[in-house]
Amino acid sequence: MVERIHSEIVRGWPEVDLSRFPIDRFRHLEETGSTNDDLLARARSGSACPYDLISADFQSRGRGRRGDRWEATPGRNLLFSLALPLDGDRQLWPRLPHLTAWIVGSAVESILGPGYRLQAKWPNDLLHEGRKLAGILVEIVLAPEPYAIVGIGLNVNLREEELPPDLRPIATSLYELLGCESSRWFLLGQIVQGFLRHFPEKTDDFATVLDWIRPRDFLVGQRLSVRSGREWFEGHGRGIGDDGELLLETLTGELAKIVSAEEIRRG
Ligand code: BTN
């Protein structure tokens, strides 16, 4: 397995304050199964450290939410996972996908420029005009030390023709939006900087994240069927609650607060 030397990549991050970043632990792999699986294994064996980062050009067993596969053409996209140390306040943990969407979305919007605004699809997709640009997978390890393994798949230089035909109408990439390539490493540096600056503070002081997410809420006003555990909720999206929960006005007019969902259908 070929590893990119981390220092080559980090050299392209001149503005990032790396004093809290464990540069020597950062690994970029040409290929792996899943960067989330790699970091989960580290965390479960007690060998993870805060801000451990693994990225890959290609994943043979990339995973999305609900056991979906996450596939990408080698070398085109950002595929990486970051280990965030958790404290005991479990109530804040559901805010992590939103914090991540804000950090990744802000980095992407700064590359796209002022003419573009992303959409945030609860709980953790970033879209542009309804087409998926990035997916976020947050997995928690409780012992021996609690960590959130935050996995991010961001379509950077992917060409539309590299997507399977069924995904072409529903996915996009920075390349497709801008018509030119963007530096994966510059973007990775911006995102790492976002976590170093704002985690964990902005999970507690959550207003900044909500102020970014709410105007970009893709599900607001839409007719939704949402499965949470064994229960299905039917109604209309009514925004994001103060803790990041999905607000759904049910067909009987009640306001349901949904903290996690296995399935969301629109229309
Ligand atoms: C989703 O949209 O369902 C989440 C997709 C998350 C994909 C990323 S790619 C890097 C990391 N490793 C994985 O196996 N999954 C995440």
Q: Tens place of pLDDT for every residue, the chain, 267 residues?
A: 445 667 778 888 888 888 999 888 899 999 999 999 999 999 999 999 999 999 999 999 999 988 889 989 999 999 999 999 999 788 899 999 999 999 999 999 999 999 999 999 999 899 999 999 999 999 999 999 999 999 999 999 999 999 999 999 999 999 999 999 999 999 999 999 999 999 999 999 999 999 999 999 999 999 999 999 999 999 999 999 999 999 999 999 999 999 999 999 998
- Domain ranges (residues) in the chain: 2-215, 219-266
Which amino acids bring their CB within 6 angstroms of ligand 1?
A: 34-36, 59, 62-65, 68, 70, 79-81, 125, 135-137, 151-153
Extract the runs of DSSP E, i.e. beta strands, from 220-267.
Answer: 223-228, 231-240, 246-250, 255-258, 263-266
Contact 84, 52 (CB under 8 A): no
User: What is the per-residue pLDDT for 263?
Assistant: 92
Residue from 58, 69, 79, 262 whose mutation best tests the ligand 1 pocket (most atoms within 8 A of CB): 79
CATH 3.30.930.10 fits 2-215, yes or no: yes
> 219-266 adopts what CATH topology?
SH3 type barrels. (2.30.30)
How much is the pTM? 0.95
How far away, in angstroms, is 252 Cα from ligand 1 center? 36
How far away, in angstroms, is 69 Cα from ligand 1 center? 8
- Report the nearest-CA residue for atom 16 of ligand 1: 151
Q: Which of 73, 56, 70 is nearest to 161 (CA)?
A: 73
Contact 6, 28 (CB under 8 A): yes
How far away, in angstroms, is 51 Cα from ligand 1 center? 17
Extract the runs of DSSP E, i.e. beta strands, from 34-111.
Answer: 53-59, 78-85
Dmax over CA atoms of the chain, in Å, equals 58
How far away, in angstroms, is 235 Cα from ligand 1 center? 28
- Report the nearest-CA residue for atom 9 of ligand 1: 153
CA atoms within 13 A on the CB side of 237: 21
Residue from 137, 150, 156, 191 whose mutation best tests the ligand 1 pocket (most atoms within 8 A of CB): 137
Q: Which of 136, 109, 95, 111 is nearest to 216 (CA)?
A: 109
